[in-house]
Amino acid sequence: MIFDATSLLSNRASAADEGAIIRMSQKTRELRAKGQDVVALTIGEPDFATPENIRDAAKDALDQGFTHYAPVAGIAELREAIAEKLRVENGLNYQAANIVLANGTKQAITNAVLSLIGPGEEAIVLAPYWVSYAASIKLAGGTCVVVESTVAENYKPPIARIAAAITPATKLIFLNSPCNPTGAVWNGAELEALADVVRKNPRVMVLADEIYEYILFEGAMVSFGTLPGMAERTITLNGFSKGFAMTGWRLGYAAAPLPVAVAMGRMQSIISAGANMFVQKAAVAALQGPRDGVQAMVKMYKRRRDMVLSGLLAINGVVISPIPGTFYAFPDVSNFLGRLAGNQVIETTDQLCDWLLEVHGVAVVPGTAFGAKNSIRLSFAASEADIEKALARIKTGLLALS
Ligand SMILES: Cc1ncc(COP(=O)(O)O)c(C=O)c1O
């Protein structure tokens, strides 16, 4: 008998889904390998190089021998620098002891969820949501409760809908502003309304993922933890991937009330020990150095945002909400579902994205990956030439449906 390890996989491993983003990227690679010209707006990754001062700091750190294990929660110098950044830029009052570094914000999120959520316990995610939230809740054995919103609501659910989803088992509400995949940003009044709900539910905490805070084109960044009484009720998540174009460096962090920070440190210790040592040294340079590199990137994203908005608005039937932040557009394309592509009926955004890719050479991600079946996600962390080409192909494709 041939040994097949499939039957040995845990329920956890079997339930884990590779996700539509990975599937679309894989398909793009396969088509390109066959010689097809494909423009991809799939990946949420800055196409810029990490600013030079940060790269130099990493090289110096390597040369100076910062190649050993780091303390589990992170080096003191960086935890201090993050506490200072949160104080000065965000108005958040955390001490270094409240800060826990991780190998990417993704891991910081998993550390937080594993620290708070277990079987039978619930976490609320606001759809459209970043796919990893649901995955980490599932991994922890918890229940992911989805609260939906529409493009007409600018992808921010009315607060009453969130309040109605809270049960005695609810421990966490995920908040992501600026939001992947919608680009939505919560203003102070909206956050205050959410804080009111949290005040009325004394066993609920908010996980505020602020990783896109710098990629903001309109309005002001308000950190949820600054609202009255919310510091003790919030886990603030952030990282270096998006704002500093450091995706491959894998560094993120959480700022949390002390008992949660200690628990998260334990998770970090079990899973990987302290985050990469010389990357932490470079991160200090990122926080304390000049920000002109970051500002230049944001300026480019804004130009691209304008291109994408006007390109999508020019397609009759596409419904789009404002994009005050991030590098994503999340148009509602439900007007195009149920139509014919040749003799195939396109019923779902998954089918629509497959067809756009295979027939029109443009890769975007179906909204189902984000708990939103009517939309598709375009990442404009891509060159203007690619964005222009992609928009033209999307338009040709959508208007060809009958
Ligand atoms: C909303 C959100 N949070 C967190 C992350 C994870 O970032 P990191 O690269 O720091 O793990 C991403 C990455 O796509 C994201 O979109």
Query: How far, in Å, from the CA of 179 to the mean position of ligand 1?
Result: 10
Query: How far, in Å, from the CA of 97 to the mean position of ligand 1?
Result: 23
Identify residue 386 by its one-letter amino acid code.
Answer: D
Q: What was the pLDDT predicted at 113? A: 98
Could you identify the atom of ligand 1 that is nearest to the CA of residue 239? 10
* Residue at 4 is within a domain: no
* Residue at 56 is within a domain: yes
State whether 132 and 272 are in the same domain. yes
**Pocket lining: 104 vs ligand 1, CB cutoff 6 Å:** yes
**Pocket lining: 103 vs ligand 1, CB cutoff 6 Å:** no
The pTM is what? 0.96
Query: How far, in Å, from the CA of 23 to the mean position of ligand 1?
Result: 18
Q: What was the pLDDT predicted at 236? A: 98
pLDDT category at 44 given cuts 50, 70, 90 is: confident
State whether 210 and 279 are in the same domain. yes
State whether 252 and 362 are in the same domain. no
* Residue at 5 is within a domain: no
**Pocket lining: 238 vs ligand 1, CB cutoff 6 Å:** no
The whole-angstrom separation of Cα 149 and Cα 202 is 25
* Residue at 338 is within a domain: yes
State whether 36 and 73 are in the same domain. no
CATH label of the domain that carries residue 56: 3.40.640.10
Residue 376, token pair as written in the block: 């598709």
Q: What was the pLDDT predicted at 18? A: 66
Q: What was the pLDDT predicted at 246? A: 94
Is the pLDDT confidence value at 156 over 90?
yes
State whether 273 and 326 are in the same domain. no
Locus of tokens 């560094």: 251
* Residue at 210 is within a domain: yes
**Pocket lining: 130 vs ligand 1, CB cutoff 6 Å:** yes
**Pocket lining: 46 vs ligand 1, CB cutoff 6 Å:** no
Domain boundary among 270, 288, 306: 288
Measured between alpha carbons, how far is residue 369 from residues 133, 332, 376, 381 in Å?
Answer: 11, 14, 9, 19
State whether 281 and 301 are in the same domain. no
Domain limits at 343? 12-49+293-400
Domain boundary among 260, 288, 316: 288
Query: How far, in Å, from the CA of 328 to the mean position of ligand 1?
Result: 13
**Pocket lining: 74 vs ligand 1, CB cutoff 6 Å:** no
Q: If you compute the radius of gyration of the chain from its CA atoms, what whole number of angstroms results?
A: 21
**Pocket lining: 128 vs ligand 1, CB cutoff 6 Å:** no
Q: CA angle, 263 as apex, 258 and 264 as ends, to 5°?
A: 95
Percent of the chain with pLDDT over 90: 91
State whether 39 and 136 are in the same domain. no
State whether 33 and 57 are in the same domain. no
Mean pLDDT of 57-83: 98
Give the DSSP letter string of 47-71. Answer: -SPPPHHHHHHHHHHHHTT--SPPP
State whether 45 and 58 are in the same domain. no
For ligand 1, pick from 82, 132, 271 the residue to mutate: most ligand atoms within 8 Å of CB: 132
**Pocket lining: 105 vs ligand 1, CB cutoff 6 Å:** yes
The whole-angstrom separation of Cα 255 and Cα 306 is 33
State whether 385 and 299 are in the same domain. yes
Q: Nearest-CA neighbor of 98 among 262, 304, 314, 237?
A: 262
Least confident of 13-22, 117-126, 205-214: 13-22
For the stretch 252-311, pLDDT in tens is 999 999 999 999 999 999 999 999 999 999 999 999 999 999 999 999 999 999 999 999
The whole-angstrom separation of Cα 334 and Cα 373 is 8
**Pocket lining: 326 vs ligand 1, CB cutoff 6 Å:** no
State whether 252 and 236 are in the same domain. yes
For ligand 1, pick from 179, 211, 276, 328 the residue to mutate: most ligand atoms within 8 Å of CB: 211
* Residue at 7 is within a domain: no
**Pocket lining: 280 vs ligand 1, CB cutoff 6 Å:** no
State whether 33 and 109 are in the same domain. no
Is the pLDDT confidence value at 50 over 70?
yes
Query: How far, in Å, from the CA of 263 to the mean position of ligand 1?
Result: 21
Going by C-beta distance under 8 Å and a sequence separation of 6 or more, which residues neighbour residue 342? none
Element (H, E) at 306: helix 292-313
For the stretch 334-371, pLDDT in tens is 999 999 998 899 999 999 999 999 999 999 999 999 99
Query: How far, in Å, from the CA of 238 to the mean position of ligand 1?
Result: 8
The whole-angstrom separation of Cα 378 and Cα 304 is 11
Output the average pLDDT for the chain.
Answer: 95
Q: What was the pLDDT predicted at 6? A: 87
CATH label of the domain that carries residue 311: 3.90.1150.10
Is the pLDDT confidence value at 82 over 70?
yes
The whole-angstrom separation of Cα 275 and Cα 285 is 16
Number of domains the chain contains: 2
For the stretch 97-125, pLDDT in tens is 999 999 999 999 999 999 999 999 999 99
